[in-house]
């Protein structure tokens, strides 16, 4: 798996594109640049880095690219979790990770386990509808 460590600006750019949808570097800079005090060139470099990491798709429009997220936030989060936990999960990695996740949810509060059950039920329902 590719190194998916993300810097603060990379996360901000992804957040921006998840919210705004596909856009070009000047528009992303218009939304983020002034607030963060960064140049258009910095935004362009960040977009290119995210593209090379496989986190953005791009299409050529005239002389510029339009960038869009290559995956939803939830899928990226799953990949980040997998990358961070794989080195310590051991040979039964999935079971170890799931056990740790359930333990984490239980430590939050009882309602977190209820939310987890509801999310699992919703996922199973969506998956079975997709096959039906």
Output the pLDDT for position 70. Answer: 97
Q: Answer whether residue 98 is part of any domain.
A: yes
Q: Torsion over CA of 31, 32, 37 and 38, rounded to 10 degrees?
A: -110
Range of the domain at 102: 90-131
pLDDT (tens, 9 = 90+) of the chain, 132 residues, equals: 456 789 999 999 999 999 999 999 999 999 999 889 999 999 999 999 999 999 999 999 999 999 999 999 999 998 888 888 878 877 777 788 888 888 888 898 888 888 988 988 998 988 888 776
- Select from 105, 106, 107, 89 the least CA-distant residue to 97: 89
Spatial neighbors of 69 by CB under 8 A, at least 6 apart, are: 14, 17, 18, 55, 56, 57
Residue 96 and residue 65 share a domain: no
Rounded Cα–Cα distance for residues 94 and 1 (Å):
16
Residue 110 and residue 65 share a domain: no
Q: Answer whether residue 37 is part of any domain.
A: yes
Residue 26 and residue 55 share a domain: yes
pTM attached to this predicted model: 0.76
């Amino acid at each position: 798996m590719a190194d998916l460590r993300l810097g603060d600006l990379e996360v901000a750019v992804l957040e921006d594109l998840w919210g705004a949808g596909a856009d070009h570097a000047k528009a992303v800079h218009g939304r983020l640049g002034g607030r963060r005090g960064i140049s258009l060139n910095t935004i362009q470099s960040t977009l290119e880095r995210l593209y090379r990491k496989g986190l953005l798709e791009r299409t050529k429009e005239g002389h510029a690219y339009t960038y869009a997220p290559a995956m939803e936030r939830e899928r990226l989060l799953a990949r980040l979790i997998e990358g961070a936990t794989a080195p310590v999960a051991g040979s039964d990695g999935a079971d170890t990770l799931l056990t740790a996740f359930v333990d984490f949810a239980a430590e939050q509060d009882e309602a977190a386990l209820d939310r987890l059950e509801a999310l699992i039920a919703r996922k199973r329902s969506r998956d079975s509808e997709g096959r039906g």
